[in-house]
Amino acid sequence: MSEFNNLINGEWLAGASYSPNLNPSNLADVIGQYTQGDASHVDAAVAAATAAFPAWSTGSVQARSDALDKIGTEILARKEELGALLAREEGKTRAEGIGEVTRAGQIFKFFAGECLRLSGETVPSVRPGIGVEITREPVGVVGLITPWNFPIAIPAWKIAPALAFGNCVVLKPADLVPGSSWALAEIIHRSGIPAGVFNLVMGRGSVIGNALVQHPGIHAISFTGSVGVGRGIALECVKSGKKVQLEMGGKNPQVVLDDANLDQAVELCVQSAFYSTGQRCTASSRLIVTEGIYPRFIEAMKARMAKIKVGDALAQGTDIGPVSSQSQLEQDLSYVEIGKAEGATLAVGGERLALGTEGFYMAPALFSDSGKTMRINREEIFGPVASVIRVKDYEEALATANDTEFGLSAGIATTSLKYATHFKRHSQAGMVMVNLPTAGVDYHVPFGGRKGSSYGPREQGRYAQEFFTTVKTAYTLA
Protein backbone atom coordinates (compact mmCIF):
# COMPACT_ATOMS: atom_id res chain seq x y z
CA MET A 1 0.00 0.00 0.00
CA SER A 2 1.23 3.48 -0.88
CA GLU A 3 2.82 5.62 1.82
CA PHE A 4 2.69 9.41 1.74
CA ASN A 5 5.18 11.62 3.56
CA ASN A 6 5.55 15.20 4.73
CA LEU A 7 7.05 17.85 2.45
CA ILE A 8 9.75 19.79 4.29
CA ASN A 9 12.33 22.01 2.56
CA GLY A 10 11.58 20.42 -0.80
CA GLU A 11 12.01 16.83 0.42
CA TRP A 12 9.47 14.10 1.23
CA LEU A 13 10.22 12.99 4.79
CA ALA A 14 8.63 10.21 6.83
CA GLY A 15 7.38 10.66 10.35
CA ALA A 16 7.59 8.10 13.13
CA SER A 17 4.43 6.27 12.06
CA TYR A 18 1.66 6.09 9.47
CA SER A 19 -2.13 6.35 9.72
CA PRO A 20 -4.65 4.84 7.27
CA ASN A 21 -6.89 7.17 5.25
CA LEU A 22 -10.26 5.37 5.08
CA ASN A 23 -13.11 5.80 2.62
CA PRO A 24 -16.27 6.62 4.64
CA SER A 25 -18.39 5.12 1.86
CA ASN A 26 -16.59 1.78 2.18
CA LEU A 27 -14.49 1.18 5.27
CA ALA A 28 -12.72 -1.72 3.57
CA ASP A 29 -11.16 0.75 1.13
CA VAL A 30 -7.90 2.22 2.45
CA ILE A 31 -6.78 5.12 0.27
CA GLY A 32 -3.24 5.11 1.59
CA GLN A 33 -1.00 5.35 4.64
CA TYR A 34 -0.17 8.94 5.57
CA THR A 35 2.72 9.79 7.82
CA GLN A 36 2.26 11.25 11.28
CA GLY A 37 4.63 14.07 12.09
CA ASP A 38 5.64 15.48 15.44
CA ALA A 39 7.03 18.72 16.87
CA SER A 40 10.47 18.04 15.36
CA HIS A 41 8.93 18.09 11.88
CA VAL A 42 7.28 21.43 12.66
CA ASP A 43 10.68 22.75 13.80
CA ALA A 44 12.28 21.63 10.55
CA ALA A 45 9.48 23.07 8.41
CA VAL A 46 9.58 26.43 10.19
CA ALA A 47 13.37 26.55 9.85
CA ALA A 48 13.07 25.86 6.12
CA ALA A 49 10.38 28.51 5.69
CA THR A 50 12.40 31.04 7.67
CA ALA A 51 15.45 30.45 5.49
CA ALA A 52 13.41 30.76 2.29
CA PHE A 53 11.54 33.89 3.31
CA PRO A 54 14.07 36.66 2.50
CA ALA A 55 14.48 35.68 -1.15
CA TRP A 56 10.81 34.73 -1.71
CA SER A 57 9.37 37.85 -0.05
CA THR A 58 11.52 40.29 -2.02
CA GLY A 59 11.82 38.36 -5.27
CA SER A 60 10.03 38.69 -8.59
CA VAL A 61 6.26 39.05 -8.38
CA GLN A 62 6.14 37.63 -11.90
CA ALA A 63 7.78 34.44 -10.66
CA ARG A 64 5.18 34.16 -7.93
CA SER A 65 2.39 34.78 -10.42
CA ASP A 66 3.73 32.20 -12.87
CA ALA A 67 4.03 29.55 -10.15
CA LEU A 68 0.49 30.09 -8.84
CA ASP A 69 -0.90 30.09 -12.36
CA LYS A 70 0.88 26.81 -13.07
CA ILE A 71 -0.58 25.29 -9.90
CA GLY A 72 -4.08 26.41 -10.84
CA THR A 73 -3.70 25.08 -14.38
CA GLU A 74 -2.69 21.61 -13.21
CA ILE A 75 -5.47 21.44 -10.61
CA LEU A 76 -8.06 22.27 -13.26
CA ALA A 77 -6.57 19.80 -15.73
CA ARG A 78 -6.82 17.04 -13.10
CA LYS A 79 -10.21 17.99 -11.65
CA GLU A 80 -11.86 14.63 -12.45
CA GLU A 81 -9.05 12.63 -10.82
CA LEU A 82 -8.69 14.92 -7.81
CA GLY A 83 -12.47 15.23 -7.42
CA ALA A 84 -12.76 11.45 -7.22
CA LEU A 85 -9.98 11.32 -4.60
CA LEU A 86 -11.72 14.01 -2.58
CA ALA A 87 -15.07 12.20 -2.73
CA ARG A 88 -13.40 8.95 -1.79
CA GLU A 89 -11.71 10.30 1.34
CA GLU A 90 -14.25 12.88 2.58
CA GLY A 91 -17.59 11.44 1.47
CA LYS A 92 -19.12 14.25 -0.56
CA THR A 93 -20.35 13.19 -3.98
CA ARG A 94 -18.09 12.97 -6.99
CA ALA A 95 -19.84 15.99 -8.55
CA GLU A 96 -19.33 18.02 -5.39
CA GLY A 97 -15.72 16.88 -5.22
CA ILE A 98 -15.06 17.97 -8.79
CA GLY A 99 -16.73 21.29 -8.03
CA GLU A 100 -14.51 21.82 -5.01
CA VAL A 101 -11.35 20.98 -6.96
CA THR A 102 -12.42 23.41 -9.68
CA ARG A 103 -12.81 26.10 -7.07
CA ALA A 104 -9.31 25.37 -5.74
CA GLY A 105 -7.86 25.79 -9.23
CA GLN A 106 -9.74 29.03 -9.76
CA ILE A 107 -8.46 30.36 -6.44
CA PHE A 108 -4.83 29.84 -7.47
CA LYS A 109 -5.54 31.47 -10.84
CA PHE A 110 -7.14 34.47 -9.11
CA PHE A 111 -4.20 34.97 -6.76
CA ALA A 112 -1.76 34.59 -9.62
CA GLY A 113 -3.27 37.87 -10.78
CA GLU A 114 -3.25 39.38 -7.31
CA CYS A 115 0.54 38.99 -7.22
CA LEU A 116 0.65 41.74 -9.84
CA ARG A 117 -2.13 43.90 -8.40
CA LEU A 118 -0.76 44.56 -4.92
CA SER A 119 -0.74 48.34 -4.62
CA GLY A 120 0.07 51.08 -2.14
CA GLU A 121 -0.41 54.80 -1.68
CA THR A 122 1.66 57.91 -2.00
CA VAL A 123 0.27 60.79 0.03
CA PRO A 124 1.51 64.25 0.98
CA SER A 125 2.84 64.81 4.46
CA VAL A 126 1.49 67.61 6.61
CA ARG A 127 5.12 68.75 6.78
CA PRO A 128 6.58 70.49 3.71
CA GLY A 129 9.25 68.67 1.74
CA ILE A 130 8.42 65.21 3.03
CA GLY A 131 6.93 62.36 1.03
CA VAL A 132 4.87 59.49 2.51
CA GLU A 133 4.56 56.02 1.01
CA ILE A 134 2.16 53.37 2.35
CA THR A 135 2.96 49.85 1.22
CA ARG A 136 2.05 46.27 2.06
CA GLU A 137 4.64 43.62 2.88
CA PRO A 138 4.32 39.91 3.71
CA VAL A 139 3.78 38.93 7.34
CA GLY A 140 6.47 36.23 7.38
CA VAL A 141 6.12 32.52 8.08
CA VAL A 142 2.46 31.54 8.42
CA GLY A 143 0.93 28.39 9.86
CA LEU A 144 -2.23 27.17 8.15
CA ILE A 145 -4.53 24.72 9.94
CA THR A 146 -7.36 23.41 7.79
CA PRO A 147 -10.51 21.29 8.43
CA TRP A 148 -11.74 18.02 6.96
CA ASN A 149 -14.96 19.19 5.27
CA PHE A 150 -13.29 21.04 2.35
CA PRO A 151 -9.96 19.23 2.07
CA ILE A 152 -8.67 21.03 -1.03
CA ALA A 153 -10.64 24.30 -1.32
CA ILE A 154 -9.89 25.63 2.16
CA PRO A 155 -6.15 24.81 1.96
CA ALA A 156 -6.18 26.51 -1.46
CA TRP A 157 -7.81 29.70 -0.24
CA LYS A 158 -5.25 29.98 2.54
CA ILE A 159 -2.13 28.85 0.65
CA ALA A 160 -2.69 30.87 -2.53
CA PRO A 161 -2.90 34.35 -0.94
CA ALA A 162 -0.16 33.52 1.53
CA LEU A 163 2.22 32.72 -1.32
CA ALA A 164 0.93 35.47 -3.60
CA PHE A 165 1.79 38.16 -1.07
CA GLY A 166 5.28 36.77 -0.38
CA ASN A 167 4.81 34.69 2.76
CA CYS A 168 6.25 31.23 3.42
CA VAL A 169 3.88 28.49 4.55
CA VAL A 170 3.62 25.49 6.85
CA LEU A 171 0.34 23.64 6.19
CA LYS A 172 -1.21 21.25 8.69
CA PRO A 173 -4.22 19.57 7.01
CA ALA A 174 -6.99 17.74 8.84
CA ASP A 175 -5.81 14.35 10.02
CA LEU A 176 -9.03 12.75 8.78
CA VAL A 177 -8.53 13.70 5.11
CA PRO A 178 -4.84 14.16 4.26
CA GLY A 179 -5.05 12.84 0.70
CA SER A 180 -6.32 15.94 -1.07
CA SER A 181 -3.88 18.21 0.74
CA TRP A 182 -1.01 15.85 -0.07
CA ALA A 183 -2.00 15.89 -3.74
CA LEU A 184 -2.10 19.70 -3.65
CA ALA A 185 1.30 19.80 -1.95
CA GLU A 186 2.75 17.56 -4.66
CA ILE A 187 1.47 19.94 -7.34
CA ILE A 188 2.91 22.94 -5.50
CA HIS A 189 6.22 21.09 -5.11
CA ARG A 190 6.55 20.80 -8.91
CA SER A 191 5.48 24.37 -9.69
CA GLY A 192 8.88 26.01 -9.49
CA ILE A 193 8.41 27.47 -6.03
CA PRO A 194 11.76 27.29 -4.17
CA ALA A 195 12.34 24.69 -1.48
CA GLY A 196 11.12 25.78 1.94
CA VAL A 197 8.57 28.29 0.69
CA PHE A 198 5.78 25.75 1.09
CA ASN A 199 5.87 22.89 3.60
CA LEU A 200 3.35 20.17 4.50
CA VAL A 201 3.33 18.57 7.95
CA MET A 202 0.64 15.96 8.55
CA GLY A 203 -0.40 14.58 11.91
CA ARG A 204 -2.67 15.05 14.87
CA GLY A 205 -3.98 18.52 15.64
CA SER A 206 -3.06 18.13 19.28
CA VAL A 207 0.55 17.59 18.19
CA ILE A 208 1.18 19.47 14.94
CA GLY A 209 -1.41 22.21 15.45
CA ASN A 210 -0.21 22.98 18.96
CA ALA A 211 3.43 23.01 17.84
CA LEU A 212 2.61 25.50 15.08
CA VAL A 213 0.63 27.79 17.35
CA GLN A 214 3.32 27.81 20.01
CA HIS A 215 6.33 28.04 17.70
CA PRO A 216 8.26 31.32 18.04
CA GLY A 217 9.19 31.24 14.36
CA ILE A 218 5.57 31.39 13.21
CA HIS A 219 4.32 34.94 12.68
CA ALA A 220 0.65 34.27 11.89
CA ILE A 221 -1.90 31.46 12.21
CA SER A 222 -4.93 30.99 9.98
CA PHE A 223 -7.32 28.36 11.35
CA THR A 224 -10.62 26.90 10.23
CA GLY A 225 -12.33 24.47 12.58
CA SER A 226 -14.30 24.17 15.78
CA VAL A 227 -15.16 27.03 18.13
CA GLY A 228 -13.42 25.52 21.15
CA VAL A 229 -10.14 24.89 19.36
CA GLY A 230 -10.29 28.27 17.63
CA ARG A 231 -10.72 30.18 20.87
CA GLY A 232 -7.80 28.30 22.40
CA ILE A 233 -5.63 29.20 19.40
CA ALA A 234 -6.63 32.85 19.71
CA LEU A 235 -5.51 32.97 23.33
CA GLU A 236 -2.16 31.37 22.52
CA CYS A 237 -1.56 33.74 19.62
CA VAL A 238 -2.35 36.78 21.73
CA LYS A 239 0.16 35.61 24.32
CA SER A 240 2.96 35.37 21.76
CA GLY A 241 1.93 38.31 19.58
CA LYS A 242 1.04 36.26 16.51
CA LYS A 243 -1.44 37.53 13.98
CA VAL A 244 -4.49 35.26 14.01
CA GLN A 245 -7.41 34.55 11.70
CA LEU A 246 -10.22 32.20 12.73
CA GLU A 247 -13.17 30.71 10.86
CA MET A 248 -15.25 28.63 13.24
CA GLY A 249 -18.84 27.55 13.72
CA GLY A 250 -22.24 28.45 12.38
CA LYS A 251 -25.89 27.93 13.23
CA ASN A 252 -27.13 29.49 10.07
CA PRO A 253 -30.76 30.58 9.64
CA GLN A 254 -32.82 30.26 6.48
CA VAL A 255 -35.98 32.37 6.68
CA VAL A 256 -38.99 31.42 4.54
CA LEU A 257 -41.73 34.04 4.38
CA ASP A 258 -45.39 33.52 3.45
CA ASP A 259 -44.87 35.22 0.09
CA ALA A 260 -41.95 32.96 -0.93
CA ASN A 261 -42.03 30.77 -4.01
CA LEU A 262 -42.61 27.45 -2.23
CA ASP A 263 -40.79 25.19 -4.70
CA GLN A 264 -37.81 27.52 -4.80
CA ALA A 265 -37.72 27.81 -1.01
CA VAL A 266 -37.86 24.05 -0.50
CA GLU A 267 -35.09 23.41 -3.00
CA LEU A 268 -32.72 25.96 -1.52
CA CYS A 269 -33.43 24.65 2.00
CA VAL A 270 -32.69 21.07 0.93
CA GLN A 271 -29.51 22.18 -0.81
CA SER A 272 -28.35 24.24 2.17
CA ALA A 273 -29.25 21.81 4.93
CA PHE A 274 -28.42 18.40 3.50
CA TYR A 275 -26.08 18.47 0.51
CA SER A 276 -22.43 17.76 1.29
CA THR A 277 -24.11 15.74 4.07
CA GLY A 278 -24.75 19.01 5.92
CA GLN A 279 -21.03 19.20 6.68
CA ARG A 280 -20.55 22.82 5.66
CA CYS A 281 -20.03 25.71 8.05
CA THR A 282 -22.46 27.69 5.87
CA ALA A 283 -25.19 25.01 5.95
CA SER A 284 -28.66 26.04 7.12
CA SER A 285 -29.70 24.01 10.14
CA ARG A 286 -32.42 26.41 11.36
CA LEU A 287 -35.32 26.82 8.93
CA ILE A 288 -37.41 29.73 10.21
CA VAL A 289 -40.84 29.68 8.55
CA THR A 290 -43.75 32.07 8.94
CA GLU A 291 -47.05 30.51 9.99
CA GLY A 292 -48.99 31.15 6.78
CA ILE A 293 -46.74 28.92 4.66
CA TYR A 294 -45.59 26.60 7.46
CA PRO A 295 -47.92 23.59 6.91
CA ARG A 296 -47.33 23.56 3.14
CA PHE A 297 -43.60 23.98 3.66
CA ILE A 298 -43.37 20.94 5.96
CA GLU A 299 -45.27 18.70 3.55
CA ALA A 300 -43.26 19.94 0.56
CA MET A 301 -39.98 19.34 2.41
CA LYS A 302 -41.02 15.79 3.31
CA ALA A 303 -41.93 15.09 -0.31
CA ARG A 304 -38.64 16.54 -1.60
CA MET A 305 -36.54 14.70 0.98
CA ALA A 306 -38.15 11.39 -0.03
CA LYS A 307 -36.40 11.81 -3.39
CA ILE A 308 -32.92 12.25 -1.92
CA LYS A 309 -30.67 9.28 -2.67
CA VAL A 310 -28.08 8.51 -0.02
CA GLY A 311 -25.25 6.30 -1.23
CA ASP A 312 -21.62 5.74 -2.09
CA ALA A 313 -20.01 9.10 -2.85
CA LEU A 314 -18.55 7.78 -6.10
CA ALA A 315 -21.71 6.06 -7.34
CA GLN A 316 -23.75 7.48 -10.20
CA GLY A 317 -26.96 9.09 -9.01
CA THR A 318 -25.94 9.62 -5.37
CA ASP A 319 -27.25 12.91 -3.98
CA ILE A 320 -25.73 12.67 -0.52
CA GLY A 321 -22.74 10.60 0.52
CA PRO A 322 -21.86 9.28 3.97
CA VAL A 323 -21.00 11.24 7.08
CA SER A 324 -17.23 11.71 7.24
CA SER A 325 -16.37 9.57 10.27
CA GLN A 326 -17.68 7.31 13.01
CA SER A 327 -17.40 10.05 15.63
CA GLN A 328 -19.28 12.54 13.45
CA LEU A 329 -22.00 9.99 12.76
CA GLU A 330 -22.38 9.32 16.47
CA GLN A 331 -22.67 13.05 17.14
CA ASP A 332 -25.33 13.48 14.45
CA LEU A 333 -27.40 10.56 15.70
CA SER A 334 -27.11 11.79 19.28
CA TYR A 335 -28.60 15.15 18.28
CA VAL A 336 -31.52 13.35 16.65
CA GLU A 337 -32.22 11.74 20.01
CA ILE A 338 -31.75 15.07 21.79
CA GLY A 339 -34.28 16.72 19.48
CA LYS A 340 -36.87 14.01 20.12
CA ALA A 341 -36.27 14.20 23.86
CA GLU A 342 -36.73 17.97 23.79
CA GLY A 343 -40.17 17.57 22.22
CA ALA A 344 -39.54 18.35 18.58
CA THR A 345 -41.27 16.17 15.98
CA LEU A 346 -38.98 14.08 13.80
CA ALA A 347 -40.80 14.62 10.53
CA VAL A 348 -38.54 12.44 8.41
CA GLY A 349 -35.20 10.62 8.48
CA GLY A 350 -32.60 10.59 11.22
CA GLU A 351 -31.70 6.90 11.20
CA ARG A 352 -28.47 5.12 10.33
CA LEU A 353 -28.66 3.38 6.96
CA ALA A 354 -27.29 -0.05 6.03
CA LEU A 355 -26.29 0.03 2.37
CA GLY A 356 -24.21 -2.21 0.09
CA THR A 357 -20.91 -1.42 1.79
CA GLU A 358 -20.03 -0.69 5.39
CA GLY A 359 -19.96 3.08 5.69
CA PHE A 360 -21.14 6.00 7.79
CA TYR A 361 -24.53 6.42 6.13
CA MET A 362 -27.38 8.42 7.64
CA ALA A 363 -30.80 9.47 6.38
CA PRO A 364 -31.14 13.29 6.43
CA ALA A 365 -33.27 14.37 9.38
CA LEU A 366 -35.91 17.10 9.51
CA PHE A 367 -37.53 18.23 12.76
CA SER A 368 -40.78 20.19 12.82
CA ASP A 369 -42.43 21.93 15.77
CA SER A 370 -39.06 22.80 17.25
CA GLY A 371 -38.51 25.53 19.82
CA LYS A 372 -36.05 28.39 19.62
CA THR A 373 -34.29 27.39 22.83
CA MET A 374 -33.87 23.71 22.04
CA ARG A 375 -30.31 22.47 21.79
CA ILE A 376 -30.88 21.39 18.20
CA ASN A 377 -31.49 25.09 17.44
CA ARG A 378 -28.65 26.46 19.56
CA GLU A 379 -25.69 24.13 19.01
CA GLU A 380 -23.85 23.37 15.80
CA ILE A 381 -24.52 19.77 14.75
CA PHE A 382 -22.49 19.74 11.52
CA GLY A 383 -24.43 16.99 9.86
CA PRO A 384 -27.61 16.35 7.82
CA VAL A 385 -29.95 17.50 10.57
CA ALA A 386 -32.24 20.54 10.24
CA SER A 387 -35.13 21.83 12.31
CA VAL A 388 -38.07 24.06 11.40
CA ILE A 389 -39.11 26.91 13.70
CA ARG A 390 -42.59 28.40 13.22
CA VAL A 391 -42.82 32.20 13.64
CA LYS A 392 -45.64 34.71 13.29
CA ASP A 393 -44.20 37.24 10.82
CA TYR A 394 -41.07 38.77 9.31
CA GLU A 395 -40.19 40.71 12.45
CA GLU A 396 -40.19 37.56 14.58
CA ALA A 397 -38.32 35.70 11.85
CA LEU A 398 -35.53 38.30 11.80
CA ALA A 399 -35.26 38.32 15.59
CA THR A 400 -35.10 34.52 15.67
CA ALA A 401 -32.49 34.44 12.90
CA ASN A 402 -30.25 36.81 14.86
CA ASP A 403 -30.81 35.02 18.18
CA THR A 404 -27.59 32.97 18.07
CA GLU A 405 -23.99 33.27 19.17
CA PHE A 406 -22.96 32.68 15.56
CA GLY A 407 -23.12 34.92 12.52
CA LEU A 408 -21.61 33.29 9.44
CA SER A 409 -24.35 32.98 6.81
CA ALA A 410 -28.07 33.74 6.67
CA GLY A 411 -30.72 33.48 4.00
CA ILE A 412 -34.22 34.63 3.21
CA ALA A 413 -36.76 33.28 0.73
CA THR A 414 -39.22 35.99 -0.27
CA THR A 415 -40.68 37.81 -3.27
CA SER A 416 -40.80 41.07 -1.29
CA LEU A 417 -38.13 43.63 -2.18
CA LYS A 418 -38.94 45.42 1.07
CA TYR A 419 -38.20 42.41 3.27
CA ALA A 420 -35.20 41.29 1.22
CA THR A 421 -33.63 44.73 1.48
CA HIS A 422 -34.32 44.99 5.19
CA PHE A 423 -32.96 41.51 5.86
CA LYS A 424 -29.72 42.18 4.00
CA ARG A 425 -29.11 45.22 6.19
CA HIS A 426 -30.29 43.86 9.55
CA SER A 427 -29.18 40.23 9.46
CA GLN A 428 -26.29 39.79 11.88
CA ALA A 429 -24.28 37.59 9.54
CA GLY A 430 -21.17 38.08 7.46
CA MET A 431 -22.84 36.69 4.34
CA VAL A 432 -26.51 37.05 3.35
CA MET A 433 -28.35 35.19 0.60
CA VAL A 434 -31.68 36.20 -0.96
CA ASN A 435 -33.53 33.32 -2.65
CA LEU A 436 -30.29 31.32 -2.74
CA PRO A 437 -28.85 28.54 -0.57
CA THR A 438 -26.78 29.79 2.36
CA ALA A 439 -24.09 27.27 1.38
CA GLY A 440 -22.32 28.18 -1.83
CA VAL A 441 -20.10 31.22 -2.28
CA ASP A 442 -17.80 32.65 -4.96
CA TYR A 443 -14.02 32.35 -4.77
CA HIS A 444 -13.18 35.99 -5.58
CA VAL A 445 -15.15 37.78 -2.84
CA PRO A 446 -14.71 37.94 0.95
CA PHE A 447 -15.72 34.97 3.09
CA GLY A 448 -16.36 35.24 6.82
CA GLY A 449 -18.82 35.96 9.57
CA ARG A 450 -19.56 37.86 12.73
CA LYS A 451 -19.92 37.11 16.43
CA GLY A 452 -18.69 33.62 17.34
CA SER A 453 -18.23 32.48 13.74
CA SER A 454 -15.14 34.45 12.77
CA TYR A 455 -12.28 36.41 14.25
CA GLY A 456 -9.81 38.55 12.37
CA PRO A 457 -9.72 39.67 8.73
CA ARG A 458 -11.83 38.06 6.00
CA GLU A 459 -10.65 35.23 3.80
CA GLN A 460 -10.70 35.06 -0.01
CA GLY A 461 -10.71 37.71 -2.71
CA ARG A 462 -8.79 40.96 -2.40
CA TYR A 463 -9.68 41.11 1.29
CA ALA A 464 -7.22 38.27 1.92
CA GLN A 465 -4.40 40.85 1.84
CA GLU A 466 -5.62 42.21 5.17
CA PHE A 467 -4.37 39.09 6.92
CA PHE A 468 -1.45 38.01 4.78
CA THR A 469 0.23 41.42 4.62
CA THR A 470 1.31 44.07 7.06
CA VAL A 471 1.21 47.80 6.35
CA LYS A 472 4.39 49.91 6.30
CA THR A 473 4.48 53.71 6.27
CA ALA A 474 7.72 55.25 4.99
CA TYR A 475 8.72 58.93 5.15
CA THR A 476 11.31 60.54 2.88
CA LEU A 477 12.82 63.99 3.11
CA ALA A 478 12.98 65.40 -0.41
CA gyration radius, the chain: 23
Query: Angle CA(75)–CA(80)–CA(82) in degrees, nearest 5?
Result: 55
Neighbours of 309 (CB within 10 A): 10
Q: Catalytic one among 247, 269, 380, 459? A: 247
CA atoms of 231 and 99, how far apart (whole Å): 31
Q: Catalytic one among 90, 237, 281, 380? A: 281
Nearest CA among 91, 80, 105, 76 for reference residue 31: 91
Please tell me what DSSP assigns to residue 193.
P
The Cα-based distances of 3 to 32, 36, 147 in angstroms read 6, 11, 22
CA atoms of 316 and 102, how far apart (whole Å): 20
What are the φ/ψ torsions at residue 165 (nearest 5 degrees)? -95, 10
The alpha carbon of 287 is separated from its chain's Cα centroid by a whole number of angstroms, namely 22
Active site residue 281: yes
CA atoms of 273 and 178, how far apart (whole Å): 26
CA atoms of 426 and 418, how far apart (whole Å): 12
Q: Which residues contact 176 (CB under 8 A, 6 or more apart)?
A: 148, 324, 325
The sheet that has 345-348: what strands, in order across it? Answer: 345-348, 365-368, 385-391, 284-290, 252-256, 409-413, 431-434
The alpha carbon of 345 is separated from its chain's Cα centroid by a whole number of angstroms, namely 31
User: Which residues are catalytic, by number?
Assistant: 247, 281
